[in-house]
Amino acid sequence: MKSRALRRVAFVAATASTAALVLAGCAGGGGDSSSGDSNEKVTLTVTTFGTMGFDKLYTQYEKEHPNVTIKATNIDTGDNALTDWQTKQAAGSGLPDVQAVEEGWLSKVMQVSSSFVDLRDYGADKIKDRWVPWKLKQATDKDGRIIGYGTDIGPEGLCYNSKLFAAAGLPTDRAAVAEYFGGANATWDKFFEIGKQYHDKTGKAWYDQSGFVWNSMVNQLPEGYYTSDGKLNVKDNADLKARWALLAQGAADGLSSNQTQWDWGKGKAFTDGSFATFVCPGWMLGVVKGQVEAGGGSSATGWDFADVFPGGAANWGGSFLTVPTTSQHKKQAAALAQWLTDQKSQVAAFQAAGTFPSTTAAQADPGVTGPSDLTKFFNDAPLGEILAKRAVGVVAQYKGPDDSVIQSQVFGPAVKSIDGGKANGQQAWDQAMKLLDQLVVNK
Amino acid sequence: MTSMLERSSGRRQDAAPPGAGRAGLTFRQRLSRWDVRYSPYAYVAPFFLLFGLVGLFPLGYTFVVSLNNWNLLTGPGEWVGFKNYAVELADPLFWNSVFNTFSIFLLSAIPQLIAAIVIAAVLDQNLRAKTFWRISVILPYVVTPVAVTLIFSSMFNEKYGLINNLLESFHLPGVLWKTDVLPSHLAIATMVNWRWTGYNALILLAAMQAVPKELHESAAIDGAGAVRRFFSITVPGIRPTIIFVIITATIGGLQIFTEPKLFDAASATPGGAQRQYQTTVLYLWDLAFNRESFGKASAVAWILFLIIVVIGLLNFLLSRSIAGAETRVSRRRTRRRLATIGAPSPATGAAIAAAPEETHR
């Protein structure tokens, strides 16, 4: 059926491209746009994803640099942004001047790190002490080239709905909640135990779906799907298995609301009491706010943020700004990337989207520790302070080349199975191991 | 294309002889001879150039890629011959995608064609505001598939979707439209049908209007009802068009991509977490762009291409034999009729008598 449409498109394309060929022939000999003049008018393209909080910063940058026009594209999820980047990387064209890269697919980026500009050529050495050391280390390839400027990190805290907590007789004050979950010694066992109490009392689910919980459980381990020296380590990984058993039991107990990731009924699930807790890395706070508002809710819906996380400190995600070598304006692009990741910008991005700064100066900035629209939404929770505490003890886990495939395609289906009640923990684990063989081991 | 070429070349030979024998041609004459001889090729050349560029070359290049262990990011790997084909043909995930493709294709094509024929038959009646109805039928085709999918995807949402809400208001259990195999195939087939039924209906309507009205009238006089006429006159009359629609529907049906891709847009595994509605095109896309195995994806593309060629050939043979049967039948009929009017009837006699008069004028 599409062939008919295609044929029609092909005809139009044929006509158009014939015309284009002719025109291109005439227009040949146009100037190279990358001359050195710093006042020359340039258009920089930027590709980001999720909620990175850059929108207002672009306008500001354009105001401060009248010769620069920024054309920004924001892709809805990190997974889709990965597809976008890979496609363009493979095609060798279409990449923007500044490309945001997520920690989860950094390992893929490192396979082709030479196709990114070494930012040391544009002054990275001078500013490299801005970042927390492990963030800088992540962005450095094996030849010591710095290919990305860190934007945010994702220290995880616990989002909870205080109204639902109140209805179930749980503490509602965020300090009391943190204490109730075990404070500094919070464990996943405790998390599921409280969840079971909540479910027994209200009949409602405890968290939105198992995928994000699993993400957090894996991400906070010193070693995830790979050992630190890069060996695949899933099948006989006792840590993973133990956590999987907990998760599967939780789902079997009805603690998972089995929502669709990144959809949540267009935000309704955040407002109708479907679930009471949500794992929240810094950048997720902006997502929660957006979802609640899309679902017709507001700060009155009752979402709050507690300084506690089961299993201890955890980091999920965080991004980098890179400059692909295909950029025609490398110098200007590097300057923009540097500007977008400096203290002032990181503070602004945090206030707009809750992306927690990766530079030490910004982490201590009153703009991060103080109130903002986002803190207002979360019942005046001191988000910056909490996240700074949640970031203590985070270790960057080694991500292997197939990390994102394992996370999404090997464990994704298994998570769906336990959430949908289609399989018990062992069956789902076996299913995942089968997929691991098919997709990763024997690829 | 070929038939046009033959026709034009035939005409060219007819046109050539007058100038061909003579030796001393002027430049203008030669130019016009070249014009006649070569310009048809120039006229068709753009199509073939572009087809070569965007059709043939990619096809060949895909084949080369499929013989390599080609990584999306790091580029060509070692030459592995037909290993990628062997691996894919032994991969249950590949066969799962083939099953899904055919299941969705059958669920969409069959109801779609039946509905299209019925709609075309209704539109073929004497309706008021004919154009309005015809445009209404084609309207879904105008909407981009992405928009269609987003709307349907929201309607088929398991927890908050319109359809499950309706079902629940009648105290019926909600259907897991995105989790279970058959419901998800039905949902995707619905999108495809919504988009393509009207388009096919219009093509069939055009064919129906070419069926001679006299046949209908004489059948009606012989006492055939509307239904009888539909099955005995209309359907046989539009058979070649039905076959055309089936062929194009098959090719399109085997290449479904947008609908399953966007049905659950945020799903990390395209085509549903358990690949329950992952079609072959989606599978190859996933192989190339998520799993970075460009070589295997190219092999799958070629396997799919061959499957479509085989099905296309089957369709072609079928349609040719049917068309052949029809011409044989009609030739026999003509012969029979000619035999019965062997002696000139009064009417023909009158016509012959009238002819000379005409030349007088």
The domain spans of chain A are 42-153+317-369, 156-315+398-441
pLDDT at residue B342, rounded to an integer: 54
pLDDT at B12 over 90: no
Chain A interface, Cβ < 8 Å to B: 1-4, 10, 13-14, 17-18, 76-77, 79, 83, 86-87, 89-90, 108, 111-112, 259-263, 265-266, 268-269, 405, 407-409, 412-413, 415-417, 420, 422, 438-439, 443
Q: At what angle do helices A2-27 and B239-253 cross, to 10 degrees?
A: 70
Residues of B within 8 A of A18 (CB-CB) are 46, 50
Residues of A within 8 A of B157 (CB-CB) are 260, 263, 265
CA distance A46 to chain B (A): 21
What average pLDDT does the segment B139-145 reach?
Answer: 90
**CB–CB of A111 and B249 under 8 A?**
no
**CB–CB of A18 and B50 under 8 A?**
yes
Residues B51 and B156 in one domain: no
pLDDT at residue A134, rounded to an integer: 82
Beta pairing class for A42-49 and A68-75: parallel
Residue type, A49: F
Residues B177 and B246 in one domain: yes
Would B285 be classed as within a structural domain? yes
Residues B47 and B158 in one domain: no
* Residue owning tokens 């980047």: A85
**CB–CB of A112 and B255 under 8 A?**
no
Chain A nearest-CA residue for B155: A265
A225/B315 Cα distance (integer angstroms): 49
Residues of B within 8 A of A90 (CB-CB) are 72-73, 294
pLDDT at B23 over 80: no
Residues B215 and B321 in one domain: yes
**CB–CB of B251 and A262 under 8 A?**
no
In angstroms, how far is CA A306 from the centroid of its own chain? 20
Residues B245 and B97 in one domain: yes
Would B73 be classed as within a structural domain? no
* B25: containing domain: 21-66
Contact A258, A420 (CB under 8 A): yes
Backbone angles phi, psi at A217, to 5 degrees: -60, -40
CA distance B214 to chain A (A): 33
Q: How many CB atoms are located within 10 Å of the residue A104 CB?
A: 21
Q: Is B305 exposed, middle or buried (0-12, 13-18, 19+ CB in 10 A)?
A: middle
B295/A72 Cα distance (integer angstroms): 33
Residues B180 and B223 in one domain: yes
Residues of A within 8 A of B252 (CB-CB) are 1-4
Nearest-5° Cα angle at A342, A339 to A346:
110
Residues of B within 8 A of A408 (CB-CB) are 268-269, 290
**CB–CB of A408 and B178 under 8 A?**
no
B211/B171 Cα distance (integer angstroms): 49
pLDDT at residue B14, rounded to an integer: 46
Would B272 be classed as within a structural domain? yes
Query: Where is pLDDT greater, at B349 or A131?
Result: A131
Residues B41 and B180 in one domain: no
User: CB within 8 A of B279, min separation 6: which ones?
Assistant: B97, B100, B101, B104, B256, B257, B260, B271
A237/A126 Cα distance (integer angstroms): 41
Of A1, A86, A422, the CB nearest to B249: A1
The CA–CA distances, whole Å, from B268 to A223, A388, A406, B316 equal: 23, 31, 10, 39
pLDDT at residue A351, rounded to an integer: 85
Residues B174 and B32 in one domain: no
Residues B213 and B274 in one domain: yes
Which residues 220-259 of chain B have a CB within 8 Å of chain A?
Answer: 248-249, 251-253, 255-257
User: Roughly how many angstroms between the first and final C-alpha of chain A, as a whole number?
Assistant: 33
How many domains, in total, are found in chain B? 2
Residues of B within 8 A of A439 (CB-CB) are 291
Q: Does B264 touch chain A (CB under 8 A)?
A: yes
**CB–CB of B74 and A111 under 8 A?**
yes
DSSP for A256-322 reads B--PPTTTGGGGHHHHTTS-SEEEEEHHHHHHHHHHHHHTT--GGG-EEEES--TTS--B---EEEE
pLDDT at residue A325, rounded to an integer: 95
pLDDT digits (tens, 9 = 90+) for B65-98: 999 999 888 888 899 999 999 999 999 999 999 9
CATH top-level class of A42-153+317-369: alpha beta
pLDDT at B21 over 70: no
Taking one residue from A and the other from B, the number of pairs with CB-CB distance under 8 angstroms is 107
Would B280 be classed as within a structural domain? yes
Give residue B243's pLDDT band: very low, low, confident or very high (50, 70, 90): confident
Q: Does B192 touch chain A (CB under 8 A)?
A: yes
b/e per residue, A139-166, with b = 16+ CB within 10 A?
Answer: bbbeeebbbbbbbbbbbbbbbbbbbbbe
Residues B123 and B43 in one domain: no
Contact B160, A294 (CB under 8 A): no
Residues of A within 8 A of B92 (CB-CB) are 438
In angstroms, how far is CA A3 from the centroid of its own chain? 38
B262/B266 Cα distance (integer angstroms): 8
Give residue B360's pLDDT band: very low, low, confident or very high (50, 70, 90): very low
In angstroms, how far is CA B338 from the centroid of its own chain? 38
Residues B117 and B265 in one domain: yes
The CA–CA distances, whole Å, from A137 to A121, A144, A226, A397 equal: 17, 9, 18, 11
Residues B267 and B175 in one domain: yes
Q: What pTM did the predictor assign?
A: 0.78
DSSP for A189-203 reads HHHHHHHHHHHHHH-
Of B74, B178, B248, the CB nearest to A4: B248
DSSP for B206-251 reads HHHHTS-HHHHHHHHHTT--HHHHIIIIIHHHTHHHHHHHHHHHHH
CA distance B61 to chain A (A): 14
**CB–CB of B73 and A417 under 8 A?**
no
Domains A42-153+317-369 and A156-315+398-441 share a fold: yes
A376/A132 Cα distance (integer angstroms): 28
Chain A nearest-CA residue for B90: A438
pLDDT at residue A38, rounded to an integer: 59
Chain B nearest-CA residue for A11: B47
CATH topology of domain A156-315+398-441: D-Maltodextrin-Binding Protein; domain 2 (3.40.190)
Of A13, A263, A416, the CB nearest to B273: A416
Would B293 be classed as within a structural domain? yes
**CB–CB of A265 and B255 under 8 A?**
no
pLDDT tens sequence for chain A (443 residues): 344 444 444 444 444 444 443 333 333 333 334 444 557 899 999 999 988 889 999 999 999 999 999 999 999 888 889 889 988 998 888 999 999 999 888 888 988 999 999 999 999 999 999 998 888 988 988 889 999 999 999 999 999 999 999 999 999 999 999 999 999 999 999 999 999 999 999 999 999 999 999 999 998 998 999 998 889 999 999 999 999 999 999 999 999 999 988 889 889 999 999 999 999 998 899 899 999 999 999 999 999 999 999 999 998 888 999 999 999 999 999 999 999 999 999 999 988 887 899 999 999 999 999 888 889 999 999 999 999 899 888 877 888 888 888 988 999 999 999 999 999 999 999 999 999 998 998 87
Q: Which two tokens stand for residue B52?
A: 């070569």
Residue type, A359: T
Chain B nearest-CA residue for A87: B289
The CA–CA distances, whole Å, from B47 to A13, B41, B248, B255, B305 equal: 11, 10, 21, 23, 21
Within chain A, what is the greatest distance between any pair of CA atoms?
Answer: 76
Residues of B within 8 A of A438 (CB-CB) are 91-93
**CB–CB of A265 and B157 under 8 A?**
yes
**CB–CB of A86 and B249 under 8 A?**
no
Secondary structure letter of residue A364 according to DSSP: T
Query: Which one, of A174, A129, A186, lies nearest residue A379 by Cα?
Result: A174
**CB–CB of A1 and B46 under 8 A?**
no
Would B331 be classed as within a structural domain? no
Contact A151, A126 (CB under 8 A): no
A288/A286 Cα distance (integer angstroms): 5
Would B201 be classed as within a structural domain? yes
